Amino acid sequence: MADTIFVLNGPNLNLLGAREPEIYGHDTLDDIAGMLEDRAQALDLTIDMRQSNHEGHLIDWMHEAQAMGAKAILLNAAGFTHTSVALHDAIKAVATPVIEVHLSNPHAREEFRHISLVGRAARGTIAGFGALSYLLALEAAARF
């Protein structure tokens, strides 16, 4: 699985395309998955894309990514970004590099979004470029 990139998406991202498109854009999670799969194929990588509204699933999947020898994890923790010590600790617990991804720029939004517990543990953060944020993170992960 050294050629696999896990792409983990947190709460409410299943509603992309319909939920606040002025902030998150019109691309659905399926659209983003398609873009990632196309680019991953060109990079000789495989995408394992998942979404859950439950924090524990994201943690279990990070553990699974490490156990399976994944190359990297792209994590859009969504609302958990700012609140989850458990996700922070899970990122610190796995050796698999984690890149934090956001569609919007949290620093240009409400003040409570300016603190990222996920980002404090992640290898790096890419934010503010809409769906392109995922592709930029994939490009970075391909170089690990």
Catalytic option among 54, 102, 107, 114: 102
Using CB atoms within 10 Å of the CB of residue 108, give its burial: 0 to 12 exposed, 13 to 18 middle, 19+ buried. Answer: exposed
Catalytic option among 24, 63, 88, 114: 24
Can 102 be counted among the known catalytic residues?
yes
Alpha helices in 12-54 (DSSP H): 21-24, 29-42
Q: What share of the chain is helix, strand, coil (3-state, %, to 5)?
A: 45, 20, 35
Catalytic residues: 24, 102
